[in-house]
Amino acid sequence: MRFRDFGFDDRNVCREEVTRYLELASQVVDVNQGKFEDPDGVTLDDSLEDVLQSHYACYIDNCAVGSYLSKRFMNCDYVAGYSMGIYSALYHCGAVSFQDGLMLMRHICSSAHQAVGEGEFGMGVVAGLKIDEVQELLLAKCPEVEVADICGPRVVIFSGRVADVERVLDLAIREGALQARLIPVRLPFHSSYLKRIEGQVRALVDSLAVRAPKYKLVSCVSHSALLTTDEDVRREIVMNVTHPMNWYKVMQRLLAAGVDTFLECGMSENLHNLVKRNVKGSYAIYTSRQFDNVLAAT
């Protein structure tokens, strides 16, 4: 979340949107103001609360940017939510309310933390090896580590116990990987390690008002499928916790559908950089600091 000075908007409209959504969020959760203003610079003593507060900030930012875009530009053709970004994507599509999306995220993070404990699990990323090479390495050396996301032809994220993940990272470097490192995620999301909370998640989802998306919503789990019904959305929420993603295929699906302009809805440039480095094609992609360029290009 690098752009939290909101300096990309001279009129400060997005700052107003963030303030509005912060007030809505504060009606259902306790937002730590210091952590909200500086998620990377402030660390809370309670590790779960620290993670939750970071997710609150990200969710509020994403929803605010999405609202800002809806007011300034024409409606989008497609929406895709990356990992925990699924909840803000669902809100943007009208599938869940803002507060239900926030509570879903809180419940899932808390349940995952309770299910696997603290400190034992983590996630890693390898760049420079093909997916087949990474999968062969996992099968031969660390079969309990699972692929969590394929970000590009040579960028793979995986989940597992920290000791196993670190071993994979070391082996990947020996096999010729350009980069191999832990990522700052303490839970094994998008893996079968969280299967035990599927029932809890499904029960919560079934208790909420879920609607069919008003935009074309692309599944990050089944990669090319569009979520068009309320049941599609319910299933996706559950599967997003325990099944691997394939962001690379999502991008290919969107390009094949004729999408030529992508907007990253957050105070970040991470997905922008990931796409630019790994996805070939004729398209324009913008971070929140570049949104004025969208108007100039259209």
Q: What percent of the chain has pLDDT over 90?
A: 75
At 53 the pLDDT is: 95
Contacts 24+ apart (CB under 8 A), 32-40: 36/60, 37/4, 38/4, 39/1, 39/4, 40/1
pLDDT the model gives residue 11:
43
Round the average pLDDT of the chain to a whole number and report it.
90
Domains and CATH numbers, the chain: 13-116+191-257 (3.40.366.10), 121-183 (3.30.70.250)
Listed range (6-15, 166-175, 282-291) with the worst mean pLDDT: 6-15
Confidence of residue 297 (pLDDT cuts 50, 70, 90): low
Record the tokens describing residue 280, joined without a space: 């070939």
What number is the average pLDDT over the span 231-236? 96
pLDDT in tens, 113-145: 999 877 689 999 999 999 999 999 999 999 999
90 close to 96: Cβ distance less than 8 angstroms: yes
**Residue 12: its pLDDT value, please?**
55
Measure Cα distances from 87 to 9, 46, 150, 255 in Å: 24, 24, 20, 23
Question: How confident is residue 10, by pLDDT bands cut at 50, 70 and 90?
Answer: very low
Partners of 152 in the beta sheet? 155
Kindly state the average pLDDT of the residues 149-154. Answer: 95
Q: In this structure, are residues 218 and 226 in contact, taking their beta carbons and an 8 Å threshold?
A: yes
Question: d(Cα 224, Cα 219) in Å, to the nearest integer?
Answer: 7
pLDDT digits (tens, 9 = 90+) for 158-199: 999 999 999 999 999 999 999 999 998 888 999 999 999 999
Other C-beta atoms closer than 10 Å to the C-beta of 293 total 12
